[in-house]
Amino acid sequence: MEKKRKQSGDKFMRSADSEREFKQEVIDLARVTRVMAGGKRMRFRACIAIGDGAGRVGIGVAKGADVTIAINKAATKARKHIVSVPIINATIPYPIQEKYGSAIVLIKPAPVGTGIKAGGSMRIIFSLAGMPNIVGKILGASNKINNVKATINAIKKLRYIEVKQKDKKDQKSQEVISAV
């Protein structure tokens, strides 16, 4: 008898538990056509965002002959391109502005209790990443995919900020100056 091997590439397969930890949302679903010599070829393009609600989010854009094929391919790409979000006090550490194509996004930290104040595709990214207090504004283009990519690029550029404590000598000299 011939040995049967798994075709799934079992060493790279993830368990079902790791698949469940990510929430998935469709950002954009479009029917696109390519004109060939024999006529038009229709396909579907899907933009999917995934996130675990604890500071990790990713996006994927893919095309397929069917809607489900496009969504599955986009979700696979999103899992491969996950970025981490530095969340400090339930928000981002500092304001940032990012441009992708003609889409410009402005993201600002917000105090606790503010909630997510952002529109369209930015709101989906923030909720999937688990950022409870944040303010975002889309400037420029209204293209959903470019806005999402600009948002992800802005998140990639965010870093944690370390606040350095001053020496006691510096504090005393500042107190003396302020008293004069």
Q: Give the CATH number for residue 97.
A: 3.30.230.10
- 76, 89: one domain: no
Domain membership of residue 9 (yes or no) is no
The pLDDT, as a whole number, for residue 9 is 46
Q: At what angle do helices 144-157 and 120-129 cross, to 10 degrees?
A: 40
The pLDDT, as a whole number, for residue 172 is 53
Domain membership of residue 23 (yes or no) is yes
- 146, 113: one domain: yes
Choose one of 82, 114, 132: the last residue of a domain: 82
**pLDDT confidence band for 160 (50 / 70 / 90):** confident
The secondary element (H helix, E strand) that includes residue 136 is: strand 134-140
Output phi, psi for 94, to 5 deg.
-160, 160
Choose one of 82, 100, 116: the last residue of a domain: 82
CB burial of residue 113 (10 Å; 0-12, 13-18, 19+): exposed
Q: Do 24 and 47 touch, CB atoms closer than 8 A?
A: no
pLDDT digits (tens, 9 = 90+) for 9-58: 444 445 444 555 899 999 999 999 999 999 999 999 999 999 999 999 99
- 75, 64: one domain: yes
pLDDT digits (tens, 9 = 90+) for 60-113: 999 999 999 999 999 999 999 999 999 998 899 999 999 999 999 999 999 999
Q: Which domain holds residue 52?
A: 16-82
Q: How many domains does the chain have?
A: 2
- 124, 94: one domain: yes
Alpha carbon distances (Å) from 111 to 116, 132, 133, 146, 161: 11, 10, 6, 28, 17
Domain membership of residue 49 (yes or no) is yes
- 27, 71: one domain: yes
- 68, 113: one domain: no
- 103, 123: one domain: yes
Q: Are strands 23-36 and 103-109 parallel, antiparallel or unpaired?
A: unpaired
